[in-house]
Protein backbone atom coordinates (compact mmCIF):
# COMPACT_ATOMS: atom_id res chain seq x y z
CA UNK A 1 0.00 0.00 0.00
CA UNK A 2 2.14 2.85 -1.24
CA UNK A 3 0.80 6.37 -0.93
CA UNK A 4 2.44 9.10 -3.00
CA UNK A 5 5.36 10.53 -1.10
CA UNK A 6 6.46 13.53 -3.15
CA UNK A 7 9.04 15.81 -1.61
CA UNK A 8 9.22 16.85 2.00
CA UNK A 9 9.13 20.61 2.24
CA UNK A 10 10.83 20.95 5.62
CA UNK A 11 14.46 22.07 5.93
CA UNK A 12 16.50 18.92 6.55
CA UNK A 13 20.05 20.18 5.90
CA UNK A 14 21.57 18.39 8.90
CA UNK A 15 18.73 16.67 10.78
CA UNK A 16 20.91 13.93 12.27
CA UNK A 17 24.31 15.65 12.54
CA UNK A 18 23.82 16.66 16.17
CA UNK A 19 23.72 12.97 17.12
CA UNK A 20 27.41 12.42 16.32
CA UNK A 21 28.93 10.16 17.39
CA UNK A 22 25.98 7.89 16.62
CA UNK A 23 25.49 4.96 19.00
CA UNK A 24 22.33 3.22 17.84
CA UNK A 25 19.41 3.13 15.42
CA UNK A 26 15.95 1.91 16.40
CA UNK A 27 13.61 0.44 13.80
CA UNK A 28 9.89 -0.04 13.69
CA UNK A 29 8.96 -3.29 11.89
CA UNK A 30 5.55 -3.15 10.14
CA UNK A 31 5.74 -0.80 7.16
CA UNK A 32 9.31 0.22 8.00
CA UNK A 33 11.32 -2.91 7.28
CA UNK A 34 8.73 -4.31 4.87
CA UNK A 35 5.52 -3.08 3.25
CA UNK A 36 3.22 -5.23 5.37
CA UNK A 37 0.21 -2.91 5.45
CA UNK A 38 -1.47 -4.44 2.38
CA UNK A 39 -1.70 -7.76 4.23
CA UNK A 40 -3.08 -6.15 7.40
CA UNK A 41 -5.60 -4.25 5.32
CA UNK A 42 -6.64 -7.40 3.46
CA UNK A 43 -7.11 -9.26 6.74
CA UNK A 44 -9.36 -6.53 8.13
CA UNK A 45 -11.33 -6.40 4.87
CA UNK A 46 -12.04 -10.13 5.22
CA UNK A 47 -12.88 -10.19 8.93
CA UNK A 48 -14.71 -6.92 9.68
CA UNK A 49 -17.71 -7.60 7.40
CA UNK A 50 -18.20 -10.86 9.31
CA UNK A 51 -18.94 -8.91 12.50
CA UNK A 52 -21.16 -6.41 10.68
CA UNK A 53 -18.69 -3.54 11.01
CA UNK A 54 -19.34 -0.66 8.60
CA UNK A 55 -22.71 -2.24 7.72
CA UNK A 56 -20.89 -5.30 6.44
CA UNK A 57 -18.95 -3.39 3.78
CA UNK A 58 -15.13 -3.61 3.60
CA UNK A 59 -13.33 -0.57 4.95
CA UNK A 60 -11.48 1.73 2.57
CA UNK A 61 -7.70 2.19 2.54
CA UNK A 62 -8.21 5.76 3.73
CA UNK A 63 -10.19 4.51 6.75
CA UNK A 64 -7.50 1.93 7.52
CA UNK A 65 -4.75 4.57 7.39
CA UNK A 66 -6.64 7.06 9.55
CA UNK A 67 -8.01 4.80 12.27
CA UNK A 68 -6.09 1.51 12.31
CA UNK A 69 -2.54 1.69 10.93
CA UNK A 70 0.12 1.64 13.66
CA UNK A 71 -2.35 1.23 16.52
CA UNK A 72 -1.88 -1.36 19.27
CA UNK A 73 -4.27 -4.32 19.38
CA UNK A 74 -5.45 -3.50 22.90
CA UNK A 75 -6.67 -0.15 21.57
CA UNK A 76 -8.16 -1.71 18.44
CA UNK A 77 -10.07 -4.26 20.52
CA UNK A 78 -11.77 -1.40 22.37
CA UNK A 79 -12.27 0.50 19.12
CA UNK A 80 -14.21 -2.35 17.49
CA UNK A 81 -16.00 -3.60 20.63
CA UNK A 82 -16.15 -0.79 23.21
CA UNK A 83 -18.51 -2.82 25.42
CA UNK A 84 -16.90 -6.25 25.02
CA UNK A 85 -13.11 -6.07 25.27
CA UNK A 86 -12.63 -9.84 25.23
CA UNK A 87 -14.55 -10.13 21.98
CA UNK A 88 -12.43 -7.32 20.60
CA UNK A 89 -9.25 -9.12 21.57
CA UNK A 90 -10.50 -12.30 19.91
CA UNK A 91 -11.06 -10.31 16.71
CA UNK A 92 -7.53 -8.90 16.79
CA UNK A 93 -6.07 -12.36 17.45
CA UNK A 94 -7.98 -13.78 14.48
CA UNK A 95 -6.84 -10.87 12.35
CA UNK A 96 -3.18 -11.38 13.27
CA UNK A 97 -3.38 -15.10 12.51
CA UNK A 98 -4.91 -14.28 9.12
CA UNK A 99 -2.21 -11.67 8.52
CA UNK A 100 0.49 -14.28 9.11
CA UNK A 101 -1.15 -16.67 6.65
CA UNK A 102 -1.50 -13.94 4.03
CA UNK A 103 1.98 -12.51 4.50
CA UNK A 104 4.00 -15.70 4.88
CA UNK A 105 6.67 -15.93 2.15
CA UNK A 106 5.28 -12.80 0.45
CA UNK A 107 6.89 -10.02 2.47
CA UNK A 108 9.41 -7.90 0.59
CA UNK A 109 12.00 -5.58 2.14
CA UNK A 110 11.59 -1.85 1.74
CA UNK A 111 13.91 -0.74 -1.06
CA UNK A 112 17.44 -0.09 0.16
CA UNK A 113 17.02 -1.99 3.44
CA UNK A 114 20.09 -4.17 2.96
CA UNK A 115 22.21 -1.21 1.86
CA UNK A 116 21.30 0.47 5.14
CA UNK A 117 21.87 -2.77 7.05
CA UNK A 118 25.45 -2.90 5.76
CA UNK A 119 26.01 0.75 6.71
CA UNK A 120 24.76 0.08 10.23
CA UNK A 121 26.96 -3.01 10.58
CA UNK A 122 30.01 -1.27 9.12
CA UNK A 123 29.60 1.50 11.69
CA UNK A 124 29.27 -0.97 14.58
CA UNK A 125 26.00 0.56 15.77
CA UNK A 126 23.63 -1.04 18.24
CA UNK A 127 20.14 -1.69 16.89
CA UNK A 128 16.71 -2.70 18.14
CA UNK A 129 13.39 -3.53 16.54
CA UNK A 130 10.62 -1.69 18.40
CA UNK A 131 7.09 -2.68 17.45
CA UNK A 132 3.45 -2.75 18.48
CA UNK A 133 3.10 -6.05 16.61
CA UNK A 134 2.54 -9.32 18.49
CA UNK A 135 5.72 -11.37 18.91
CA UNK A 136 4.66 -13.99 16.36
CA UNK A 137 4.18 -11.28 13.74
CA UNK A 138 7.45 -9.55 14.57
CA UNK A 139 9.41 -12.80 14.44
CA UNK A 140 7.76 -13.76 11.13
CA UNK A 141 8.65 -10.45 9.50
CA UNK A 142 12.17 -10.24 10.91
CA UNK A 143 13.04 -13.84 10.00
CA UNK A 144 11.49 -13.59 6.53
CA UNK A 145 13.69 -10.56 5.86
CA UNK A 146 16.78 -12.40 7.09
CA UNK A 147 17.30 -10.02 10.01
CA UNK A 148 17.09 -12.40 12.96
CA UNK A 149 20.80 -11.95 13.70
CA UNK A 150 20.82 -8.23 12.90
CA UNK A 151 18.87 -6.90 15.88
CA UNK A 152 20.35 -6.89 19.36
CA UNK A 153 16.86 -6.95 20.86
CA UNK A 154 13.19 -6.88 19.87
CA UNK A 155 11.02 -4.63 22.05
CA UNK A 156 7.25 -5.21 22.02
CA UNK A 157 4.70 -2.58 22.94
CA UNK A 158 2.68 -5.23 24.76
CA UNK A 159 5.62 -5.87 27.09
CA UNK A 160 5.81 -2.21 28.14
CA UNK A 161 3.51 -0.30 30.48
CA UNK A 162 2.19 1.58 27.46
CA UNK A 163 2.56 0.79 23.74
CA UNK A 164 3.10 3.37 20.99
CA UNK A 165 2.11 6.24 20.65
CA UNK A 166 3.50 6.43 24.20
CA UNK A 167 7.30 6.65 24.39
CA UNK A 168 7.70 3.60 26.65
CA UNK A 169 8.85 1.07 23.99
CA UNK A 170 11.55 3.41 22.68
CA UNK A 171 12.69 4.36 26.18
CA UNK A 172 12.94 0.65 27.03
CA UNK A 173 15.06 0.07 23.91
CA UNK A 174 17.48 2.80 25.03
CA UNK A 175 17.71 1.22 28.46
CA UNK A 176 18.28 -2.32 27.16
CA UNK A 177 20.90 -1.20 24.63
CA UNK A 178 22.50 1.13 27.19
CA UNK A 179 22.67 4.03 24.75
CA UNK A 180 21.75 7.71 24.96
CA UNK A 181 18.79 9.34 23.26
CA UNK A 182 21.23 12.10 22.29
CA UNK A 183 23.11 9.66 20.03
CA UNK A 184 20.23 7.57 18.65
CA UNK A 185 17.57 8.01 16.00
CA UNK A 186 14.53 6.08 14.81
CA UNK A 187 12.95 4.85 11.57
CA UNK A 188 9.12 4.80 11.60
CA UNK A 189 6.27 4.73 9.10
CA UNK A 190 3.16 5.54 11.17
CA UNK A 191 1.81 8.57 13.00
CA UNK A 192 1.58 6.50 16.18
CA UNK A 193 5.22 5.41 15.91
CA UNK A 194 6.58 8.84 15.05
CA UNK A 195 4.74 10.34 18.02
CA UNK A 196 6.25 7.67 20.28
CA UNK A 197 9.79 8.39 19.07
CA UNK A 198 9.42 12.15 19.33
CA UNK A 199 7.97 11.78 22.84
CA UNK A 200 11.02 9.68 23.75
CA UNK A 201 13.22 12.62 22.76
CA UNK A 202 14.79 11.28 19.55
CA UNK A 203 14.74 12.38 15.92
CA UNK A 204 12.49 10.18 13.81
CA UNK A 205 13.01 9.57 10.10
CA UNK A 206 9.58 8.82 8.67
CA UNK A 207 8.96 6.48 5.73
CA UNK A 208 6.06 7.13 3.36
CA UNK A 209 5.58 3.42 2.63
CA UNK A 210 1.98 3.35 3.81
CA UNK A 211 0.84 6.73 5.08
CA UNK A 212 0.45 10.11 3.35
CA UNK A 213 2.99 12.84 4.01
CA UNK A 214 0.58 15.35 5.51
CA UNK A 215 -0.46 12.92 8.26
CA UNK A 216 3.10 11.89 9.05
CA UNK A 217 4.29 15.52 9.18
CA UNK A 218 1.69 16.30 11.84
CA UNK A 219 3.62 13.93 14.14
CA UNK A 220 6.80 16.04 13.65
CA UNK A 221 9.40 13.69 12.15
CA UNK A 222 12.91 15.05 11.50
CA UNK A 223 12.24 14.46 7.80
CA UNK A 224 10.50 12.00 5.48
CA UNK A 225 11.96 9.52 3.01
CA UNK A 226 10.41 7.37 0.32
CA UNK A 227 12.59 4.35 1.15
CA UNK A 228 16.10 3.53 2.36
CA UNK A 229 17.64 4.58 -0.94
CA UNK A 230 16.27 8.10 -0.69
CA UNK A 231 19.07 10.67 -1.30
CA UNK A 232 17.79 12.73 1.66
CA UNK A 233 18.66 9.88 4.00
CA UNK A 234 22.15 9.32 2.63
CA UNK A 235 22.93 13.03 2.62
CA UNK A 236 22.03 13.12 6.32
CA UNK A 237 24.06 9.98 7.10
CA UNK A 238 27.08 11.28 5.20
CA UNK A 239 26.90 14.58 7.04
CA UNK A 240 26.66 12.71 10.34
CA UNK A 241 29.79 10.77 9.33
CA UNK A 242 31.64 14.00 8.52
CA UNK A 243 30.75 15.55 11.85
CA UNK A 244 31.80 12.41 13.74
CA UNK A 245 35.08 12.39 11.82
CA UNK A 246 35.84 16.02 12.52
CA UNK A 247 35.08 15.51 16.20
For residue 3, the model assigns a pLDDT of 40
Is 44:59 a contact under the CB 8 Å cutoff?
yes
Residues tagged active-site? 28, 30
Q: What does the pLDDT look like over 150-196, one tens digit per residue?
A: 999 999 999 999 999 999 999 999 999 999 999 999 999 999 999 99
For residue 117, the model assigns a pLDDT of 98
Distance CA 14, CA 181 (A): 17
For residue 94, the model assigns a pLDDT of 97
For residue 71, the model assigns a pLDDT of 87
For residue 175, the model assigns a pLDDT of 98
For residue 1, the model assigns a pLDDT of 47
Distance CA 84, CA 130 (A): 29
DSSP 105-164: TT--BPTTHHHHHHHHHHTT-EEEEEESS-HHHHHHHHHHTT-TTT-SEEEEGGGSSS-T
Q: What is the pLDDT along the chain (247 residues), one digit of tens a residue?
A: 444 344 443 444 678 999 999 999 999 999 999 999 999 999 999 999 999 999 999 999 999 988 998 888 999 999 999 999 999 999 999 999 999 999 998 999 999 999 999 999 999 999 999 999 999 999 999 999 999 999 999 999 999 999 999 999 999 999 999 999 999 999 999 999 999 999 999 999 999 998 999 999 999 999 999 999 999 999 999 999 999 887 6
State how far the alpha carbon of 25 is from the alpha carbons of 85, 109, 140, in Å: 35, 18, 21
For residue 2, the model assigns a pLDDT of 41
Q: Left (φ > 0), alpha (ψ -120 to 50) or beta: where does 110 sit?
A: beta
Distance CA 105, CA 40 (A): 15
For residue 4, the model assigns a pLDDT of 39
Amino acid sequence: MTISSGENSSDSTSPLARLAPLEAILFDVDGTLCDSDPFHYQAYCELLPQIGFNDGKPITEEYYIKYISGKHNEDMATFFFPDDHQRGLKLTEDKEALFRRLAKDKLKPVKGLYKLKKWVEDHGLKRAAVTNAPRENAELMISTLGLSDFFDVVILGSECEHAKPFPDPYLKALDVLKVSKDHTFIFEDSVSGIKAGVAAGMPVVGLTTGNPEHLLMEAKPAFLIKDFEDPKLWAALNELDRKAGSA
